[in-house]
Structure 1
């Protein structure tokens, strides 16, 4: 009952609910490429719909790289979908061939329907890196310039829209630079980067942020791998794990701190890029993620069924533990 396509690898995804329908948008690549590590450079965005997050109807490819030359002519990666200002908005990550995919930027497309078609707003470029706050690419430091995985809240706060994204600050130890980047906009079109809402100190990067509120507290779900943990975090947690965890705060703009333990992690990584969603069958929160390394050591490349979660005293847990691993 998982969301699995026979001819495609599936990984990062984002969710939108409307009129009882659960929409997932996801990264996909043809399994014909053979090596799943090549999927990142052979990517498009797919779409599927369900009433229960378990039984899925695939709707095909809905977005992909622009024609060359363009700032997003190589890849279109993880993003988010919202409804606001009378339209549907797709925010996504893009890279270009001219830079060998090294520098990430954030794009924007709109539609009159959640089912598309999605049309870029102008060139599509919504946000580029601001070196005042964030780390620029430098050979030998990281494999990329991190400016990706935009998560946009559909309602204004203090008169502006807020975007959160994967980034790194431009100072400090390498594996403490991972931050949750922040930008604001009056209209979802014109964006300005600001200081990160989570200033790092624990990880080299926090991928695929998802920010939401439950019972008056705010949660920022993220994923990363053990190799990108700070020395202090590895020492505290037996060397670290790879998977999905979360930050907590009393306000979406922070201050944020990692929750104790680690929500869903393992070595090797079994599930990655998790999202916390409302299960339409139970009305309770659940975790969904893509299958990473299976028992056979092979990449899964599909999205698992909902995993029940417990929320007690502000902490999420799977089954009968509260996040400790």
Structure 2
């Protein structure tokens, strides 16, 4: 069954595997808020564990907002987890401040020896959008300054961070790109040019992740109908979790080739490999047939490569997407 908390909504999720238990970390907010749109600003990072990726047991929350002043004194949003060469777990996450009314997003880090007890590295962010390549908030083009959802991985002797970002070039509804930063040591990060180009038809590409499934690399991201360009919306396109095969984990990514992996019933997809080598898609249950928000973690969905060279959910649930 889906992982449902009776007293809280859960949404964006990221995972870690300690070799004994699978750990799910997720954005979480009380259902007592009434309106699910309020959840973004009354959020904690929740934590649950599982032996089999199906039955989950909630444990103590992992992160909350810092005391003022700090880059994350308003919200702690979506992230990812890696284990560093010394065996310490590092959670890279998105933070916003009350002073900026959560408009400007930045990335920071917390560390843990055991995935249960987390200590933030400090009150300063590791990186944020650089105006040389990325859009800065101007009050007109977009509702916020996007630099969020860090996905960190090692490749070719360096650490890489993918982020939800927006180019400073092109029509305002067509600036979504995969932002990029690099590090030699996970401590010092240098913002790089984006790994994709604007103009692919998306206002933003949320919760990006790169994975190597079999002998092929794939990028997934999420975007809803409302964040597609006007041209895509007018043609009848909808949103959901998207995927695009890529030649290299570090790009470049041709987002114009992206196709939907799911419809809008699921959002913020994550690919996870179990210890037997099988790959699964997780997401959060987004809306029901009446478009009412659900807010719970989905069951794992099997994924694999289709005959058309695209990643697909192999149980047939989304075959109607083509």
**TM-score relative to the length of structure 1:** 0.92
- Measure, in 2, the Cα distance between the counterparts of 1:110 and 1:323: 42
Q: State the match for 2:268 in structure 1.
A: 273
Tell me the secondary structure at the aligned position of residue 173 of structure 2.
Answer: helix
Tell me the secondary structure at the aligned position of residue 253 of structure 1.
Answer: coil
- Measure, in 2, the Cα distance between the counterparts of 1:113 and 1:129: 31
Tell me the secondary structure at the aligned position of residue 300 of structure 1.
Answer: strand
From 147, 160, 176, the equivalent of 1:178 is 176
Q: State the match for 2:301 in structure 1.
A: 307
Q: State the match for 2:221 in structure 1.
A: 222
Q: State the match for 1:204 in structure 2.
A: 203
Deviations 1:237-266 (A, max 9, x none): x4211210112211112121244531112x
Q: State the match for 2:312 in structure 1.
A: 317
**Are the structure 2 counterparts of residues 119 and 262 from structure 1 closer, same or farther at C-alpha, using a change threshold of 3 Å?**
same
Q: State the match for 1:248 in structure 2.
A: 245
Q: State the match for 2:280 in structure 1.
A: 286
**Are the structure 2 counterparts of residues 146 and 95 from structure 1 closer, same or farther at C-alpha, using a change threshold of 3 Å?**
same
| Alignment size in residue pairs | 316
Tell me the secondary structure at the aligned position of residue 227 of structure 1.
Answer: helix
Q: State the match for 1:76 in structure 2.
A: 76
C-alpha deviation, 1:29, in angstroms: 0.5
Root-mean-square deviation (CA, aligned residues, Å) is 1.8
Q: State the match for 2:162 in structure 1.
A: 164
**Preserved contact between residue 21 and residue 50 of structure 1 (Cα < 8 Å):** yes
C-alpha deviation, 1:8, in angstroms: 0.7
**TM-score relative to the length of structure 2:** 0.92
Tell me the secondary structure at the aligned position of residue 145 of structure 2.
Answer: coil
From 261, 264, 267, the equivalent of 1:263 is 261
C-alpha deviation, 1:170, in angstroms: 0.2
Tell me the secondary structure at the aligned position of residue 102 of structure 1.
Answer: coil
Deviations 1:176-211 (A, max 9, x none): 210000001111111110001112322110000011
Structure 1: 5+ residue stretches without partners: none
**Are the structure 2 counterparts of residues 284 and 298 from structure 1 closer, same or farther at C-alpha, using a change threshold of 3 Å?**
same
Tell me the secondary structure at the aligned position of residue 3 of structure 1.
Answer: coil
Tell me the secondary structure at the aligned position of residue 287 of structure 1.
Answer: strand
- Measure, in 2, the Cα distance between the counterparts of 1:181 and 1:260: 17
- Measure, in 2, the Cα distance between the counterparts of 1:256 and 1:2: 32
C-alpha deviation, 1:92, in angstroms: 0.3
**Preserved contact between residue 207 and residue 223 of structure 1 (Cα < 8 Å):** yes
Q: Answer yes or no: is 1:108 the counterpart of 2:109.
A: yes
C-alpha deviation, 1:175, in angstroms: 2.2
Deviations 1:222-245 (A, max 9, x none): 00111222345446xx42112101
**Preserved contact between residue 48 and residue 57 of structure 2 (Cα < 8 Å):** yes
C-alpha deviation, 1:322, in angstroms: 6.0
Matches within 5 A, 1:100-139: 100-115=101-116, 117-139=117-139
- Measure, in 2, the Cα distance between the counterparts of 1:36 and 1:232: 29
Q: State the match for 2:98 in structure 1.
A: 97
